[in-house]
């Protein structure tokens, strides 16, 4: 199932961050299954499963007042706001490449850059299959699959033209 939980917040915050709401919805589906109190073994929290250092960094960009706490990260509006802006930053960093942005969201942009350099010139679909961290490899596939499903549910064609695209090593 592909629920539209928190859709109003997702659409509002996605528009503010200039990211596709279906991509943000897919990310939240895979990160937390729409549970605002979700937490991970690594310490990520809330709907967008933000790590505290990342949440503090993004809150600084946005000039969000007050200390960042676990309770605040469980607030759906703030969590989606921070997660959408962070996702937008990663999309910009990777020139709109969804797979690289999503991989960076999960494993860090530094790791993705290192993997790209090691991969050399190769198609994006091959790169995804060779992501060395199984959790990240599976995560990218799940988020992109959910994104395609949300696109189809909304009568839009799924944005898959980046698959098969050659990647330049960075």
Per-residue pLDDT of the chain (170 residues; tens, 9 = 90+): 899 999 999 999 999 999 999 999 999 999 999 999 999 999 999 999 999 999 999 999 999 999 999 999 999 999 999 999 999 999 999 999 999 999 999 999 999 999 999 988 889 999 999 999 999 999 999 999 999 999 999 888 755 544 445 555 45
What is the set of active-site residues? 31
Q: Enumerate the domain spans of the chain.
A: 7-162
CA–CA separation, 23 and 14 (whole Å): 9
Closest CA to 119 of 131, 134, 106: 131
The CATH code of the domain at 7-162 is 1.10.530.10
């Amino acid at each position: 199932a592909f629920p539209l939980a928190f859709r109003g917040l997702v659409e509002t915050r996605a528009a503010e961050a200039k990211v596709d709401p279906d991509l943000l919805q897919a990310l939240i589906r895979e990160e937390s299954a729409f549970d605002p109190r979700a937490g991970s073994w690594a310490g990520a929290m809330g709907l967008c499963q933000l790590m505290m250092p990342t949440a503090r960094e993004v809150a600084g960009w946005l000039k969000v007042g007050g200390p960042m706490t676990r309770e605040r990260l469980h607030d759906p509006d703030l969590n989606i706001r921070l997660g959408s802006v962070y996702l937008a930053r990663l999309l910009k960093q990777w020139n709109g490449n969804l797979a690289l942005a999503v991989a960076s969201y999960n494993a860090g942009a530094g790791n993705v850059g290192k993997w790209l350099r090691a991969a050399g010139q190769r198609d994006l679909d091959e790169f995804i299959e060779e992501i060395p961290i199984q959790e990240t490899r599976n995560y990218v596939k799940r988020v992109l699959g959910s994104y395609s499903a949300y696109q189809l549910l909304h009568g839009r064609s799924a944005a898959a033209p980046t698959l098969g695209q050659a990647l330049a090593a960075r």
